[in-house]
Amino acid sequence: MLLVTGATGKVGRHVVRGLVGQGVPLRALSRRPDRARLPAGVEVAAGSPEDTASVAAALADVDRAFVVLVGDVEAQARGFAAAARSATGLRHVVLLSSSAACHPVPHRIRDEHIAAEGIIRAAVPSTAVLRPGPFHSNSLWWAGQIKETGRARCLVGDNPGAPVDPADVAAVGVAALSPEHGGRVHELTGPEVLTSGKQVAMLGGLLGRPLDFEVATEEEAVATFTAITGDRPTAEGNVRALHSPEVPWNRVLPTVAEVLGRPARPYLSWATEHIGAFR
């Protein structure tokens, strides 16, 4: 039996689909099993990684796990690890981390993922770590603005980066569930370096109308993120790092192609499949 946390999310749903396709017996952990909408045959257990008791119950008869940590990443890592340490059968974990862990500028997103990697590795030595850069699906942040105003206002600067398809992150994750990936770190990007402005232009091309593109100031980005989290110092550090040209995802890495034996999916493929969300 294999456990997937974050199974209802952007990466987790693809992981579930991939494993169901392989006929792997699967259990998903969800805070709201009644809303999970997972494929028939997938067991859904109620819970969340930070809730050790729920993870412990969900790990019964489980030998491998795909772990996604969302929200308080470090608290979730601690909660999962406490259950993993006392689970008798768990042999191998794939952890969805972030290439923020490689960022030269210290900030909360980096620090929490580095901490989470250490916590999970200490509990399950055979852990494979995925460190993707920004997902193609982050463009959905602009969907409402594009629909209503024909304009996208970008909060993370307009530095070059090589965004990756969450479906590719999941596919590498499914491959990394083989125990020979234990101890490995897969840093993942997409196949081309773009800017947010270029992504918006591609969306406009698919919509058949030009879209305006604006870059918000760092102060506006800090204010927006502070309004969501209430934590201004963390927002300041994260925005400084995200606006830095030193972001580690500013170059194309061959990892997706090396692990999967096929090229990484370009942004245009994702955008074509999801253009309805921007219409």
Ligand X SMILES: NC(=O)c1ccc[n+]([C@@H]2O[C@H](COP(=O)([O-])OP(=O)(O)OC[C@H]3O[C@@H](n4cnc5c(N)ncnc54)[C@H](OP(=O)(O)O)[C@@H]3O)[C@@H](O)[C@H]2O)c1
Residues that bind ligand X (CB under 6 A): 6, 8-12, 30-32, 36, 48, 68-71, 73, 96, 98, 132, 134-135, 138
In the complex with ligand X, the residue whose CB is nearer, 69 or 215, is 69
Residue written as token pair 């909060």: 155
Shortest Å, Cβ 8 to ligand X: 4
- Inter-CA distances, 46 with 51, 58, 74, 244, Å: 10, 8, 20, 39
Shortest Å, Cβ 156 to ligand X: 10
In the complex with ligand X, the residue whose CB is nearer, 35 or 279, is 35
In the complex with ligand X, the residue whose CB is nearer, 10 or 92, is 10
Shortest Å, Cβ 243 to ligand X: 15
Element (H, E) at 152: strand 151-154
In the complex with ligand X, the residue whose CB is nearer, 68 or 129, is 68
Chain centroid offset of residue 216 CA: 24
The residues with which 151 forms a beta bridge, in sequence order, are: 212
Shortest Å, Cβ 134 to ligand X: 4
The number of C-alpha atoms within 13 Å of 106 and in the hemisphere containing its C-beta is 3
Shortest Å, Cβ 99 to ligand X: 6
Query: What tokens were used for 235?
Result: 């927002």
Residue written as token pair 């110092």: 233
The residue number whose beta carbon is nearest to ligand X equals 9
Shortest Å, Cβ 202 to ligand X: 17
In the complex with ligand X, the residue whose CB is nearer, 32 or 262, is 32
Give residues with Cβ within 8 angstroms of 161, minimum separation 6. Answer: 133, 134, 193, 194, 195, 247, 249, 250
- 3-class DSSP assignment, residue 215: strand
In the complex with ligand X, the residue whose CB is nearer, 40 or 88, is 40
Q: Judging by beta carbons within 10 Å of its beta carbon (0-12, 13-18, 19+), is residue 233 exposed, middle or buried?
A: exposed
